[in-house]
Every structure is written in C-alpha cells, then in structure tokens.
Structure 1
Amino acid sequence: MGIRYYAYAFDADLAEQAVDDPHSILSSDPLADAWGLEPHASVSVATFEQVSPKRDMLYLDKVWSALQSLTCPTTDVPDAGSCYRMFEGSVTMHGLGWDPWVRTILPVEVPAIRDDLCAIDEDQVRTWARTWRSRHGADDDDELRYVLDYLRRAQTFVETLAADGRGMVYLIG
C-alpha cells in the first residue's frame, strides 16, 4: 500500500492532549477516512471520497515526500521552510513493516507555516521540479499536476487551521 500522509486538526483547547498523546487526535484507521472505506473492515468498497470533513483532515497520499523536498531548508537558504515542519519526518523501517512518524503542530505555530506554505506558487514548484524526480515513475507533467494539486490542498488546510485557531497532528506511515 505504501507510506502515506494524514493530518488531523484539533481545537486549541486540546493542545495539551495533542502534545501528550498525539495518537488520541489521529484516527484509528486514517486510510479508511481518506478513501471512504469502512474502518477496520477486512473487506470494504472504497468510495475514494474522504469521510472526514476537509477542514478536519488533510490526506496527502504519497506526495508528502515531494512536498518535504520542496519545503526543505537548504544550505543556500537555511532559514527557509518553516512549512517544512509540516512535512518533516520519515518512518522507521524494520522487518516487514515500519513505525510511523507522528508530530504535533500547535495552533501558535500554524500562522508561520501557513504564511510560508502559501507563499509557494506554481513557478516555484516548476523550478523545483526540474531537479526532483519521483520514485514512482510518473511523467513530468503528471507529476507536476499531482504535486500542485496536493500543495493546494495543504495550503487550503493550513489557511483554515490558522483562521480557526486550530493545530494539527500528522502521521507519515
């Protein structure tokens, strides 16, 4: 199935809980939420419609690694990328599986992430895409559309979080 990205919003009054126990904010079956499956069912039919409201959940499929690369601070611009915090992390591989990466982003952190992420435009993505190559073998135009679509979803999600004074917990896994 592959490693995917899921983020769940939380209200400011749940910030302490989100820090102490981030898994309590996450769904017990995020793929079911993202794909419209019956949670925890061994056999289910996917509707491919996200179950959770878009203001409460961000699903980035496998594009998280591209967004991680796009927003990563570099030696040229070490201070850039406060929005990188939203995509940073990787799973810990072991045996036949992995342990997911989980991070809490507090409501006070969201405005800076929003400002940084929403400043990224299509021209910047096109420039970055010239040097980045997907491991999934998609052609350049399809890959660019894929990254831009999910970037816009992420931008909308953090804009809503900031407007509502909410934070998020994300899982890469």
Structure 2
Amino acid sequence: MGIRYYGWAITDEEAAEARTDPWPVIRRADRRGDEPGWTNTCFDKAWPLLQRLFSPEGVRQPKPGYELVAGDVTYPYGYLEGYEPYVGVIARDRVPTIARDVASVSRSDVRLFCSGLRYGDQQVRRDDEGYLAYYLAEAQTFTADAAARGHAILYLIR
C-alpha cells in the first residue's frame, strides 16, 4: 500500500482553522470532492521524488515548490507501532509563488533529474521519469488552479 500524498484547495479561513485542527477541514475539503471551483489531488507515492526534485542534494535552500511536498510521516512509538501522518498548510499568499516554481519545471528537467537518480543498489529505475512527469503535471495543474482561485492548500502525507 505505502504512504501517499493527498492535497486539497481550501479557503484562507480554513487554512487558519487547519493549523489548529486539520481533521475537520480535511473532511470538509474531501466532501467537496469534484464540486466546481474546488480542486484536490493525489500524488500517490511520488511525493518523495517531488521533494528531491525541488530540493536537490547539496542545495541549502529548497525551491518554493518544495513547500508543496515538505514533510514526512513520523514514528513516535517506533516503526512497529505505526506512524503519524504529516499535515501541511500553505497560506493563500504563498500559493502563486509555489505554482510559478512548479510550472517552471519542464519534461527535460525531469529527464535530467531522473538520469541522476540512484538507489541503494545504484540502479536507475526506468519508469521513474514517466511516473514523476505525470505527477509533476498533476502538481502544475493543482497549484495553478489554486493560485488562480485565490485558494490556500492543505495536504496530508499518510
């Protein structure tokens, strides 16, 4: 199954509420689903690749797009006891900057990034480029729509 990323466009008022208690806002945003004017997304298991894309190794300051996928689950009681999800809230005023940065990444950038990916066995996974390109396009659409509508963003890594 694995840990996945889910994101919702929300109002700035909901963003303030979510900083205190995100769960009612998540439920409300999830119920809006496909209502006109509201967007949501799932980056599946691509969020760690998106993190690496927006915060390359050796770079001190991640790119603004990193804010869209920052965070990870935690294991406060040990790995065998399960994990706690990560909830991120992005204020409306940050969304346009993030959207511009996400939009600035091209397919050739993804190709170059993926050509340098190595794993524990030092292998390159051939399907990473298409997988990442697909979810980058999702991120581009999601952030552009949220920025155009003046929405904040709430996301959950779980």
Using the TM superposition, give the Cα deviation of residue 100 of structure 1 relative to its aligned residue in structure 2, in angstroms.
0.7
Where does residue 73 of structure 2 map in the other structure? 91
Where does residue 6 of structure 1 map in the other structure? 6
| Counterpart Cα distance in 2 of 1:9 and 1:20 | 17
Residues 138 and 4 of structure 1: CA distance in aligned 2, closer, same or farther (over 3 Å): farther
143, 154, 157: which one aligns with 1:169:
154
Structure 2's unaligned 5+ residue stretches are none
| Counterpart Cα distance in 1 of 2:86 and 2:13 | 24
Structure 1's unaligned 5+ residue stretches are 34-50
| Equivalent residues in 2 for 1:23-172, closer than 5 Å | 23-27=23-27, 52-53=33-34, 55-72=38-55, 74-76=57-59, 78-93=60-75, 94=78, 95-133=80-118, 139-140=125-126, 142-172=127-157
Using the TM superposition, give the Cα deviation of residue 63 of structure 1 relative to its aligned residue in structure 2, in angstroms.
0.6
Q: Deviations over 1:99-140 (max 9, x none)?
A: 1111100101101100111101011111110122478x9941
| Counterpart Cα distance in 2 of 1:20 and 1:100 | 15
Residues 138 and 26 of structure 1: CA distance in aligned 2, closer, same or farther (over 3 Å): farther
Using the TM superposition, give the Cα deviation of residue 97 of structure 1 relative to its aligned residue in structure 2, in angstroms.
1.4
The answer to whether the Cα contact below 8 Å between 2:39 and 2:145 also exists between their aligned partners in 1 is: no
The answer to whether the Cα contact below 8 Å between 1:7 and 1:169 also exists between their aligned partners in 2 is: yes
Residues 143 and 73 of structure 1: CA distance in aligned 2, closer, same or farther (over 3 Å): closer
| Counterpart Cα distance in 2 of 1:143 and 1:107 | 31
TM-score (norm 2): 0.83
SS at match of 1:160: helix
Q: Deviations over 1:3-23 (max 9, x none)?
A: 000011112332321222222
| Counterpart Cα distance in 2 of 1:134 and 1:11 | 39
- Percent of residue pairs identical: 31
